Copies of this chain bind each other. A is one copy, B any other.
Amino acid sequence: MKSEKDGRRLRFALIGGGPGSFIGSVHRIAAELDREIELVAGAFSSDNARSAEAGAVFRVDPARAYPDVATMLRAEAVRPDGIDFVTIATPNHHHLPAARAALEAGIAVMSDKPATATLEEARELADIVAGADVPYALTYTYSGYPLVREARARVADGAIGRVTKVIVEYPQGWLATATDSKQAAWRLDPKRAGPGGCIADIGVHAFHLAEFVTGLRVTQLLADLGSVVPGRALDDDCQLLLRFENGARGALLASQIMIGERNGLRLRIHGDRGGIDWRQETPNMLVVHHSDGRTELVQAGDASLGADATARLRTPGGHPEGYLEAFANLYRDFAMLLRGGKAPLLPGIADGLRGMALIETAVHASRDESGWAPLIV
Please report the C-alpha to C-alpha distance between residue A222 and residue B224 in the assembled complex, in whole angstroms. Answer: 9
Q: Which residues of B contact A298 (CB under 8 A)?
A: 294-295
**A319-B257 contact in complex given A9-B59, A294-B304, A296-B294, C-beta closer than 8 Å:** no
Q: Interface majority SS on A: helix, strand, loop or mixed?
A: loop
A297 touches B299 (CB 8 A): no
A291 sits at the interface (CB 8 A): yes
Please report the C-alpha to C-alpha distance between residue A271 and residue B58 in the assembled complex, in whole angstroms. Answer: 40
Q: Which residues of B contact A318 (CB under 8 A)?
A: 172, 261-264, 280-281
Q: Which residues of B contact A291 (CB under 8 A)?
A: 259
Q: Which residues of B contact A174 (CB under 8 A)?
A: 316
Q: Which residues of B contact A272 (CB under 8 A)?
A: 176-177, 257, 259
Rounded to whole Å, the gap between the CB of A99 and the closest CB of chain B is 25
Q: Which of B176, B280, B315 contacts A324 (CB 8 A)?
A: B315
How many copies of this chain? 4
Binary CB contact string for chain A from 47 to 58 against chain B (1 if under 8 A, 0 otherwise) = 000000000001
B289 touches A293 (CB 8 A): no
Q: Closest chain B residue to A22 by CB distance?
A: B316
Q: Closest chain B residue to A296 by CB distance?
A: B296
A104 sits at the interface (CB 8 A): no
A71 sits at the interface (CB 8 A): no
Q: Which residues of B contact A255 (CB under 8 A)?
A: 165, 270
Binary CB contact string for chain A from 288 to 308 against chain B (1 if under 8 A, 0 otherwise) = 011111111111011110000
Known: A239-B249, A319-B322; 11 extra A-B contacts, CB below 8 A, are A160-B259, A164-B257, A173-B275, A176-B272, A263-B318, A280-B318, A287-B297, A292-B303, A295-B297, A296-B297, A314-B324
